Amino acid sequence: MSGSFKPPWAKLSKQVTSSMPVQEILRTASADYEVVLSPVQVENLTTGRFHTVEDRFVTGRFNYKTGYMDNWEVVKGRYEIIPNSTIVNKALTLAGVDGLEVDSAGILDNGRKFFVVISCEDRIISGELFKMYIVVMTSHDGTSPISYYFTPVRAITRTVYRLDTDASPFVKKKHTPNTEEWTAEAAEVREKYSEWLSEFTKTLETHREEIMSEEKIDTALEAMWPISNADTNRKLRHRDDVIDTVKKLYRAEYNRERTGMSKLSILSAVFDYYDNYRNMDEDSMIQQSLEMDNYSYRQKIKFSALLKELN
């Protein structure tokens, strides 16, 4: 996984390479399973008979360890299963653009989601080394289409950065079985990645240049964790603990002492908190840092937007 560097999701994935055959990548990632649609049946409580529900199916896979189906979500008949092999092929097609490299792959939520990670060229931004990735992911429970997530990781803290910028940090696509379209899709993703990277770099450099006084830091943290929401002693203690943790991270050698009393320092502290210090299990924190459209992602975007408004 990018040499000796281990990204936060290394625990939830396996190292693979662009030179590996598709089936080998799937086997390595424990993703060589077939997703199927099973008809939904309900019991008539009066007669005891089962009836098939029209136009409703359950996504799932056969679990060879238990001998039973792992059933996931109910979907309509128009739902189209996207095989994990399609995601691998799309990732390999993208990795052929500008020398990008397939890096790792894995499953989430017992197979409901499958992802392949592509490593991009490292970047030095505002004096910080960022390991750059594109995560290609799909779900088998109807929650999201094929998604390309642009995922920068600050190397020193292994923290994923999500910024409020004018360029979208992701591309979402429907299933395109025509392999000729994959090349055009890969070129589009690469173009969108370049647009996003430019905005990401500009935003970080601006945050590095702008000084944050202690008063402004308190204002920003109050907006993130308002005392008005702490309406019980337990919530108040939790809020105080969170803010204390963030301030300790802000004062750490790898934040304020490294990037000064800047917006970048407090931004890094908040992101470090969400990825590494929240009161939740490690695997859940890792998964939230890897994906988008979740609480951690929304909070990072919220704080980034707050900093842009503070002058």
- pLDDT per residue rounded down to tens, the chain (311 residues): 555 789 999 999 999 999 999 999 999 999 999 999 999 989 888 888 889 989 999 999 988 888 888 999 998 888 888 999 999 999 999 998 777 999 999 999 999 999 999 999 999 999 999 999 999 999 998 787 899 999 999 999 999 999 999 999 999 987 655 666 888 899 999 999 999 999 999 999 999 999 999 999 999 999 999 999 988 999 999 999 999 999 999 999 999 988 889 999 999 999 999 999 998 999 999 999 999 989 999 999 999 999 998 87
pLDDT at 176: 57
Q: Give the C-alpha distances (Å, rounded to integers) separating 12 from 30, 39, 141, 170.
A: 11, 31, 19, 21
Q: Is residue 3 part of a domain?
A: no
- pTM given for the model: 0.91
Dump pLDDT digits (tens) for 195-230. Answer: 999 999 999 999 999 999 999 999 999 999 999 998
> Do 90 and 226 belong together in one domain?
no
89 and 125 in a single domain? The answer is yes
Report the pLDDT value the prediction gives residue 5, as an integer from 0 to 100: 87
**pLDDT in the model for residue 206:** 94
Same-domain check for residues 16 and 157: yes
Does residue 101 sit in the same domain as residue 14? Answer: yes
204, 163 contact by CB (below 8 A):
yes
**One domain for residues 237 and 105:** no
Residue 2: CB atoms within 10 Å: 20
> Do residue 218 and residue 202 come from a single domain?
no
Whether 177 and 303 map to the same domain: the answer is: no
Residue 1 lies in a domain: no
CA dihedral 181, 144, 283, 7 (to 10 degrees): 30
Question: In terms of Cα–Cα distance, which of 147, 9, 38, 33 is closest to 91?
Answer: 147
What pLDDT does residue 80 have? 85
Final residue before a domain boundary, out of 182, 206, 230:
206
**2 inside domain:** no
